Structures are given as structure tokens and as C-alpha cells.
Amino acid sequence: MQHPLSLYNTLTRQKAPFEPLNAPFVGVYLCGPTVYNEAHIGNARGPVVFDVLTRYLRFLGYTVRYVRNITDVGHLEGDADEGEDKIGKIARARKVEPMQVAEGYTNLYEDHVAALGCLPPDITPRASGHIIEQIQMIEEIIRNGFAYESNGSVYFDVPAYNAAGRNYGKLSNRVVEELLAGSRENLAGQDEKRSPLDFALWKRADERHLMRWPSPWSDGFPGWHLECSAMSRKYLGDEFDIHGGGLDLMFPHHECEIAQSQACNHPTNEARVWMHNNMITVNGQKMSKSLGNFITISQLFEGTNTTLAQAYSPMTARFFLLQAHYRSTVDITDEGLQAARKGYRKLMNGLRLLDKLNEASLSPEVIKSRTVEPLTEGQAPDTTKGDAELRKLVADCFAGLNDDLNTAKAIASLFNLLRKLNGFFANLATLATVSAAALQEATEAYRVLVTDILGLVDEPRAKAEDLLRLTLEFYQEAKVTKAYDKVDQIRAALKEQGIVVKDTKAGIDWAYSEE
């Protein structure tokens, strides 16, 4: 690589070369969903972005441990410390167990991100499965003087934390005095807290709360922020390389995570690099249920949302999200998605050319035409200029990825490379301007970039039932015209696919072969 991978760190507000703590090992943690409803298209962006990041890190030779959690308890309404658990509220309304709600939406979420081409994380921890680790972390924070128990609940002591020289607000660039000024009125009804900035590490469960566990302080449940700190520490250590999530999680969620990790026995910022993907808008407006432009992933795939005119395939959606740099906003529109579908299909058509180009490059005609004038024995034709141009097009693709995972730049460069490859295919004689080795490098790089790193794969264009119906129509036509050789060919071809043609009094039908 000409350029090392550089990443923008929200914590430092700077872009810097990525240097793992313990190369070649890299730990990556992404905040996953709270599984109380179906994920919307905004929830898809983080998994797609960090799927590309982990794919690229592995391409660069790193051994990655990628952790993406499931929040199935402790996330209260309004992201606050009061109110009902989001999952518990749905469970109460449906008269089912909370874990039925969590399990159903977890399975749906994982199906959707898999359809979007995201490889499964190495570890998918659930908050409800790590209560012991969370209780241990709270005990550690209390012993260090940064938390207190109040009426069975435990709160993180932000003033004590800052008095010890720590800096609550350093990730989000929030000033504590300003936060206090804007939050005093919110202390009403939260008299358990010493300061309105304090946040829950453990909450005593009231009679309404369906999910509860025993602890040294009460039967209750963990705070939302604590879960990710405890799970990331268990699987990635006190300090690890990269922590990701949506920009909306930077405060208070990620800010609180850092404070919790700083308050433990081995104080760290939890992750060395904090990466935040930006938000999604719909037709220029913030997506919200009140505006009626809230689009779930299912609705995007099935075309059942009135905001959009049609359905869009998972790979179209993935390509659409990757057309923008992850720190930029993405605006969902029909026009944008339709353009993305065209772009995605162009890349797929490019994949179909690669083997043909390499085969043509080794043909006697091209080999002969590379020789502009008679060569002396042992002399090779001069393709230096053509090879350099081709390798520069490839290098530009990787330069985009190395520049803070700028998939927008990488895709633009990829289309420049595709334009060159298409030019070769349109006029095979021009293959003489490059060596077979340089072409092989370029086609392999194209394949790796599209499929292995960007994670774009070909999607079926037609439905098997429709193709079978069309084939049977050709079969019927061949019978009517007594073209029995075609009848036999169609029968034999379908039989190879496990399909038997059945001529009945009611017409032509088919069945699965039972042989």
C-alpha cells in the first residue's frame, strides 16, 4: 500500500494513521440495536460501514475480533434513567415474555444485516447474558469512589469524577457547566441522584418491571450505558482499538462508556479510536414516525412504504449507503436509490468481464500485436506506460479506503478502473498496450474490491418460477410445431435441474423429480 490506513478519531477530532495496540490483532466493537422493534434503514448504516472496515482490516493482514452487541434489557424510554424498559413495554402490551420480543427482533435484525451483505461478527454478546460482569464493574466503580447507592439504585457520580481530574464531556465536547444549566429542571422526580448529570449504573426494579436480577443493592437491572462497557471489556480488554456507533450515540451513551471505563481499576478511554457514522434523512427531512417517513428495512426491501415508489434490493441498499462517506449524512430518495441500482449493476457487469479480458489478453493475436516492431531474442514488448496507468487506477481505489474509509472516493475510483476495463473489452486490440501481468493484477484488484472489501455480490435477476413458466411455454410451442428435437432438449435440460415435465389432459405441468 502506498498510503497507510488513516481513521478519523472523534475523541481527538483528528485523522491519524491507524496503529493497533497489539498488531496484528485488532479489536473492534460496534454498538448494536435495542431489539424492541424492527430496525429502520438508519440502523443499517453502522453494520454496513463497520462490515467494510473489518473486511478491509482483514485484507490488510490484521487479525480482527469484531464484537457487535444486542441490547435486550436496560434501555429505558427516552434514553433516560426513568420510565419503562422499551422491550418490557412492548411485552406488556402484547402479553408475552420480554425475551420473546427481544428474540424475535434480534432474529429479524440479523436476517436483515445478513441480506445486506454483512458478515456475522465474531462475537454477538447480549446484555442479559452479562449481568455478572456488569455487577462486578459497578462494584469496582463504587470502590474507586465514582458511584453511590441510593434507594437500591446505583448512580455514576459525575461531579466526583470531574473533581478527580477526569473530563466528562471530552468525547462530545460538552461543557459540564452548560450541561448542568440545561438539566436542572430534569432532576424533578429523580431525587435519588445527587446531580442531574449522574447516570444509572443499576436501577432498582419497581413492580412494573418484568426483567430483573438480584444484585448487592436490589433486584433490578443494569443501566444502558454500562452494558457496552462491560461487554467490550470482557471480549476486547480494558482498552481496545476501535469503538463504533451512530453519531446519535456519542452523547450520552459513548460519553458515559468512557467515564465508566476511566473509573475502573485500569483507567482507559475504552477504545483508542472512536468512529461515528452520520445520520440518514428521507427526502431532506429527519426520519421520524411523526413525519410519516419512518422506513424499516423490510419496507425498503419489499416496497411497502408510501415514502418510496418501489422496492429496492439489499445490494442496491448497501451500494447506496457506501456511495457516501460514513461521516456524511445520507438522504434517502427514490432518485438516489434508482441511481444506486444502476451503479451497482454496472459493477456486477464489470465482474462478468474479468475472466474474458484475461483470456483475451493471452490470445495469440494480442500477444503478437504487443510487438510494434521486430524484437530481438529475449526482448519484451514495451507496455510500461499502459501498465503504469492501469496500476495508478487500482492504487486510487485503495487510496480512497485508506483515507478514513472513504468508500465514496473508492467507488468513484473503481468506476474509473471499470471504464478502462470496459474500453479494453470494447476494443480487444487495445489490450496490447498493457502486459498480461498488469491486467491480471487490475482484474483481481477489481474483484477483491467489489466482492471481498465492499461486500457487493450478484443478486438473482429473475425468479425461478417465472423462468420455468417461460420454459414450459417454449415446450408447448415446440410440441405444437412438432419440433420434437426441441421438446426432448427441453425435457432433458429440465430433468438435469430436478424438474419433470408432465403432459396432462388439463395441459402442461411440472413436478419435482422423485428419482
Confidence tier at 2 by pLDDT (50, 70, 90) = very low
Kindly report the CA angle at 246 between 241 and 248, in degrees rounded to 5? 125
Q: Which three cell numbers stand for residue 8?
A: 478519523
pLDDT (tens digit per residue) in 164-208: 999 999 999 988 777 776 555 555 446 789 999 999 999 999 888
> Which of 48, 32, 42 is CA-nearest to residue 315?
48
For 442-503, the DSSP string reads: HHHHHHIIIIIIS-------S-HHHHHHHHHHHHHHHHHTT-HHHHHHHHHHHHHTTEEEEE
Other CB atoms within 10 A of residue 165 CB: 6
pLDDT of residue 458: 92
pLDDT of residue 371: 58
pTM over 0.85: yes
Mean pLDDT, residues 68-72 taken together: 96
pLDDT of residue 176: 78
Kindly report the CA angle at 179 between 174 and 182, in degrees rounded to 5? 140
Q: Which three cell numbers stand for residue 79?
A: 434514553
pLDDT (tens digit per residue) in 289-302: 667 788 999 999 99
pLDDT of residue 186: 52
pLDDT of residue 34: 92
Place of cell 435484525: 109
Cα 31 off chain centre by: 11
Q: Residue 203: which H helix or E strand, with range?
A: strand 199-204
User: Are 32 and 99 within 8 A, CB to CB?
Assistant: no
pLDDT (tens digit per residue) in 82-139: 888 999 999 999 999 999 999 999 999 999 999 999 999 999 999 999 999 999 999 9
pLDDT of residue 375: 46
The C-alpha atoms of residue 237 and residue 76 are separated, in whole angstroms, by: 27
The C-alpha atoms of residue 244 and residue 228 are separated, in whole angstroms, by: 11
Which residues are annotated binding-site positions? 31, 228, 253, 257, 289
| 54 vs 428, higher pLDDT | 54
The C-alpha atoms of residue 489 and residue 495 are separated, in whole angstroms, by: 10
pLDDT of residue 466: 83
Cα→Cα distances 364→360, 369, 428, Å: 9, 8, 12
pLDDT of residue 463: 77
> Which of 153, 138, 136, 135 is CA-nearest to residue 204?
153
User: Are 282 and 293 within 8 A, CB to CB?
Assistant: yes
pLDDT (tens digit per residue) in 216-274: 999 999 999 999 999 999 999 999 999 999 999 999 999 999 999 999 999 999 999 99
Cα→Cα distances 452→344, 346, 457, Å: 15, 17, 9
Which residues are annotated binding-site positions for ATP? 289
The C-alpha atoms of residue 467 and residue 509 are separated, in whole angstroms, by: 14
Mean pLDDT, residues 273-285 taken together: 94
The C-alpha atoms of residue 515 and residue 499 are separated, in whole angstroms, by: 10
Q: Return the SS3 of 90.
A: helix
Mean pLDDT, residues 57-75 taken together: 96
pLDDT of residue 460: 78
Report, in angstroms and rounded to the nearest whole number, the Rg of the chain calculated over CA atoms.
29
Other CB atoms within 10 A of residue 412 CB: 14
378 pLDDT more than 70 = no
Q: Return the SS3 of 168.
A: coil
Confidence tier at 282 by pLDDT (50, 70, 90) = very high
pLDDT of residue 182: 55
Confidence tier at 209 by pLDDT (50, 70, 90) = confident
The C-alpha atoms of residue 400 and residue 419 are separated, in whole angstroms, by: 18
User: Are 438 and 387 within 8 A, CB to CB?
Assistant: yes
What single-letter amino acid sits at 98? P
**Topology at the third CATH level for domain 11-277:** Rossmann fold (3.40.50)
User: Are 244 and 209 within 8 A, CB to CB?
Assistant: no
Which residues are annotated binding-site positions for Zn(2+)? 31, 228, 253, 257
The C-alpha atoms of residue 189 and residue 365 are separated, in whole angstroms, by: 84
Place of cell 486510487: 396
> Which of 68, 82, 84, 31 is CA-nearest to residue 253?
31
Q: Helical H runs in 224-313?
A: 224-236, 255-262, 297-302
Mean pLDDT, residues 44-52 taken together: 98
Which residues, other chains included, contact 481 with Cβ-Cβ below 8 Å and sequence gap of 6+?
none
pLDDT of residue 1: 38
Range with lowest mean pLDDT among 23-27, 57-61, 333-337, 511-515: 511-515
Q: Helical H runs in 77-184?
A: 86-94, 98-115, 131-143, 158-163, 176-183
What single-letter amino acid sits at 19? E
Length of the chain: 515
pLDDT (tens digit per residue) in 490-501: 899 998 888 998
User: Are 154 and 192 within 8 A, CB to CB?
Assistant: no
Q: Which three cell numbers stand for residue 514?
A: 422423485
Q: Return the SS3 of 190.
A: coil
Q: What is the mean pLDDT of the chain?
A: 91
Please count the helices (runs of H) and the strands (runs of E) in the chain: 17, 15
